[in-house]
Structure 1
Amino acid sequence: MRPWALGRKNWLVAGSLRIGQRAANIMPLIQSVKLNRLDPYAYLSDVLKRLPTLKVTQIEELLPHRWKPNSN
């Protein structure tokens, strides 16, 4: 809870409404990654590399609870 309370004042000056909305979209994903005991950097790095080549039907494989690191 403490990081959220400390960040609350910082997020008030995110820079613009758009940046605040982007942060609000990504934060739950990062928290979900942490709850699944994954490294957020490794997860995001792998997902962002795979995303452009995935088919729409494969998107669910990238969810934090189903993600497996790329074997390459």
Structure 2
Amino acid sequence: MPLIQLVKLNEHDPYAYLKDVLTLLPTQKNNAIDELLPHK
């Protein structure tokens, strides 16, 4: 729930954000995970 609230605070659609993150996560490098945070 805190992640969803953070997404909303950054004026993103929670569904679209989670869909995008879950799509990109398997191919994201470990040292670039912070790029998936909602404030980036």
Give your verdict on TM over 0.5: yes
Gapped regions of structure 2 (runs ≥ 5): none
Which consecutive aligned stretches of 4+ in structure 1 deviate over 4 angstroms post-superposition? none
Counterpart of 2:34 (choices 60, 63, 69) is: 60
What TM-score do the two structures reach when normalised by structure 1? 0.55
Gapped regions of structure 1 (runs ≥ 5): 1-26, 67-72
Which has the higher relative contact order, 1 or 2, with Cα contacts under 8 A spaced 6 or more apart? 2
What TM-score do the two structures reach when normalised by structure 2? 0.96
* Percent identity over paired residues: 70
Count of equivalent residues: 40
In 1, the alpha carbon distance for the partners of 2:30 and 2:5 equals: 24
- The residue that corresponds to 1:15 in the other structure is none
